[in-house]
Structure 1
Amino acid sequence: MNGQHAPQSFDRVLSSMCTEPHPAARTAAERFLATNPGDPATYGTIAELESRAVELLCTVVDHPRSGPDLGYLTSGGTEANLQAVRAARNLAAGGDVNVVAPESAHFSFRKAAAILDVELRTVPLDRDHRADIEAASAAVDENTALVVGVAGSTEYGRVDPIPDLCAIAHETGARMHVDAAWGGFVLPFHDVPWTFADAPIDTMTIDPHKLGRAVVPAGGLVVRDPATLDALAIETPYLETHAQATVTGTRSGAGVAGAVAAMEELWPDGYRETAQRCQRNAEWLAAAFADRGYTVVDPSLPIVAASIPTPIFEELRSAGWKIARTDRGELRIVCMPHVTRDTLRAFLSDLDRIAESDGSRTAGSR
């Protein structure tokens, strides 16, 4: 590999939910590059590590018990969300089923609905960008197989009222899924109900390769009851193991090993320090935007959304900043571990220079 194909630097990456892996995760991943958790009878060591990964994830999400039969390491949040929908569909009484999710739900649920041929019903958000409980209650019916809540939404970092949504789901006979793909490793250090201990959740997505500091790919699916994985299993006649619940056959041993290494290294104190530092950076940045006259969405988790004029946004992209926008068009910055205060100062310096050059310092100059 020549210099033209060197890995991209994270120096100017401000809108990604992935980050630099922890050094321990990188080292562990390199040792297991050729192993396959999808064939546990052949690759016994990585199978043991996956069991350890699931136990650690159960600890993070306050599961009432722990064991290797309570989840597995996925390729990412998309696969985990798809599997939650698939399990709910398979466990439903039959006929056409639907899934109720807030408008803030990740686009992976649209993929899941299309692949699995289920109806996806999206419900509006309240003024704080969280799922509207009355709308969710009105949307469920006897054909609802799954209700989805988001714990750390992609655009604004909001946590839906998980216990209320869970009550709505179970009163209807549906299952409850929480998508904590990004938020799962920061929410343990915030006072908000989102875990298996807070509500009788059935399935949860949580990704070690995001704020968990594992290598990519290392997503996670955690289930309340092993019967959920049984509902996903198919026979595997040419393998020594009799069944497989995962979507993919061959999976990343590197991702599993890296996830275990990161969680063992960082849980809980390292994650707590990271969560607090990222939150301080988000609040500092939000205040800096407000001081400049931009409208900002309050960062309850370390995501900042600010109404930056489109020409300024485009010039910032041209200057090399890897930034993105919300569906409403706001600049969206995710204060991941690699996003330092110095990086944010450099970004604001470019923002000020560009805004001054075109004479529009506020969001009102679109």
Structure 2
Amino acid sequence: MTHVSASSEPQSFDRVLSSMCTEPAPAARRAAMAFLGSNPGDPATFQTIAARERETVSMLGELVGLADPHGYVTAGGSEANIQAVRAARNRATVAEPNVVAPTSAHFSLRKAASLLDVELRLVETGPDHRADPKAMADAVDERTALVFGVAGSTEYGRVDPIPALVDLADSVDAMLHVDAAFGGFFLPFTDREWHFGHAGIDSMTIDPHKAGRAAIPAGGFLARDRSVLDALSIQTPYLESESQVSLGGTRSGAGVASAHAALETLWPDGYRAAFERTMELARWLATELDSRGFDVIEPELPLVAWEASQSLFERLRDAGWRIARTQQGAIRIVVMPHVDRNMLDAFLTAVDRHRP
């Protein structure tokens, strides 16, 4: 067999500043290895991992203020967002339903609209990069099946005014979904109003394989009411299990087990310590960049967005730094648990060396 030679070692996180994924916690890594062959997509056959999935959903519910959560461990935030649109479409009582969301919504929402043949109405965010409920009110109507909010946006780490979006969804009898894929493991340690305990949210995306320190793939889809999952259910007559709500069929037992292990090990004190450390680093980095004359957006979560020239961006990339830009052109640095002061010091040294 002819093949292209590749390194047998995974890429190091030493210069990764653009990713919302990070090194799994040791317990999560061990659990993932132990359950590589298990399939939670057939819970009647693989009962051990099915029990862990139920416990994981319960622990996620505690994290997001939901006493009786319904849901499952997804392959990631994209699947959970697609499922939210799918559930809303299936529950809609009107033809040609639409989804209303801010332009800060994750690109998976565009995938969902295309796959499910649902109209997507994107509304510009306010100057603070958060959803503008008043502007979104002009986009909803009697055919709106879902209003979409973000708790920790991918580009700027911003938290939308979730209670106001819930009121907007209620005004047209639509579901309200919150994408907390990034923010979900940081926001419990802030005073933001973002979860089920703060407002009448119907469903949520939350990703253990981001700041939750689980192994990939381990996302999460949570719902307040069982009827949301019922809207996703299909029969599976050739399996031991009678039905299935997940988007994929066969699923990763490794992801479920690692999410369970990470939550069991780190919630809440480990996650609180990680948030406080990464938030402190983000504020420090923002101050350092500001002192160098860059236009920096004040971080709300451990994500620093700052204006810089295209030439500096390209030089930093050429020097091996894994960084990315927002749609508006700002460089975004995601301060995940693998990022430390030494890494950021080295990055700032590179900024000083390569700036025009």
TM-score scaled by length of structure 1: 0.95
Partners of 1:89 and 1:311 lie apart in 2 by: 45
Structure 2 residue 37 is the aligned partner of structure 1 residue 31: no
Q: C-alpha root-mean-square deviation of aligned residues, in Å?
A: 1.1
Superposed displacement of residue 3, structure 1: 7.6
Tell me what 1:344 maps to.
344
Contact preservation (8 Å) 1:32, 1:253: yes
Contact preservation (8 Å) 2:148, 2:176: yes
**What aligned pairs does 1:246-265 form with structure 2 within 5 A after superposition?**
246-265=246-265
Tell me what 1:354 maps to.
354
Partners of 1:230 and 1:65 lie apart in 2 by: 16
Contact preservation (8 Å) 1:64, 1:196: no
Say which SS state the counterpart of residue 169 (structure 1) adopts. helix
Superposed displacement of residue 230, structure 1: 0.6
Once the two structures are superposed, residues 251-278 of structure 1 have per-residue CA deviations (whole angstroms, 9 ceiling, x without a partner) of 0000000000000100000000000111
**What aligned pairs does 1:155-166 form with structure 2 within 5 A after superposition?**
155-166=155-166
Partners of 1:189 and 1:234 lie apart in 2 by: 38
Once the two structures are superposed, residues 49-70 of structure 1 have per-residue CA deviations (whole angstroms, 9 ceiling, x without a partner) of 000110011011000324xxx0
**What aligned pairs does 1:208-287 form with structure 2 within 5 A after superposition?**
208-287=208-287
Tell me what 2:323 maps to.
323
Partners of 2:109 and 2:354 lie apart in 1 by: 38
* One-letter amino acid matched to 2:267: W
Partners of 2:137 and 2:156 lie apart in 1 by: 23
Superposed displacement of residue 239, structure 1: 1.1
Tell me what 2:21 maps to.
18
Partners of 1:51 and 1:133 lie apart in 2 by: 35
Superposed displacement of residue 189, structure 1: 0.5
Partners of 2:300 and 2:41 lie apart in 1 by: 38
Superposed displacement of residue 171, structure 1: 1.3
* One-letter amino acid matched to 2:111: K
Tell me what 2:312 maps to.
312
Say which SS state the counterpart of residue 130 (structure 2) adopts. coil
**What aligned pairs does 1:62-141 form with structure 2 within 5 A after superposition?**
62-66=65-69, 70-141=70-141
* One-letter amino acid matched to 1:49: R
Partners of 2:316 and 2:157 lie apart in 1 by: 23
Superposed displacement of residue 305, structure 1: 0.6
* One-letter amino acid matched to 1:44: Q
How many residues of Structure 1 are paired with residues of Structure 2 in the alignment?
353
Contact preservation (8 Å) 2:45, 2:241: no
Contact preservation (8 Å) 2:286, 2:298: yes
Superposed displacement of residue 94, structure 1: 3.0
Contact preservation (8 Å) 1:201, 1:224: yes
Partners of 2:111 and 2:86 lie apart in 1 by: 12
Partners of 2:16 and 2:321 lie apart in 1 by: 6
Superposed displacement of residue 242, structure 1: 1.1
Superposed displacement of residue 5, structure 1: 2.5
Once the two structures are superposed, residues 212-269 of structure 1 have per-residue CA deviations (whole angstroms, 9 ceiling, x without a partner) of 0000000000000011101100110111211111111100000000000000100000
* One-letter amino acid matched to 2:233: A
Partners of 1:265 and 1:64 lie apart in 2 by: 20
Contact preservation (8 Å) 2:229, 2:245: yes
Partners of 1:198 and 1:330 lie apart in 2 by: 32
Contact preservation (8 Å) 2:66, 2:196: yes
Partners of 1:273 and 1:71 lie apart in 2 by: 27
Partners of 1:92 and 1:5 lie apart in 2 by: 49
Partners of 2:252 and 2:275 lie apart in 1 by: 27
Identity of aligned residues (%): 60
* One-letter amino acid matched to 2:43: P
TM-score scaled by length of structure 2: 0.98
Q: Structure 1: which 5+ residue stretches go unaligned? A: 361-366
Once the two structures are superposed, residues 173-199 of structure 1 have per-residue CA deviations (whole angstroms, 9 ceiling, x without a partner) of 100000000100000011110010101
Once the two structures are superposed, residues 303-358 of structure 1 have per-residue CA deviations (whole angstroms, 9 ceiling, x without a partner) of 00111111111011001000000111111100000010110000000110112xxx
Structure 2 residue 56 is the aligned partner of structure 1 residue 56: no
* One-letter amino acid matched to 1:324: A
Tell me what 1:364 maps to.
none
* One-letter amino acid matched to 2:291: D
Partners of 1:109 and 1:297 lie apart in 2 by: 25
Partners of 2:234 and 2:94 lie apart in 1 by: 19
Tell me what 1:184 maps to.
184
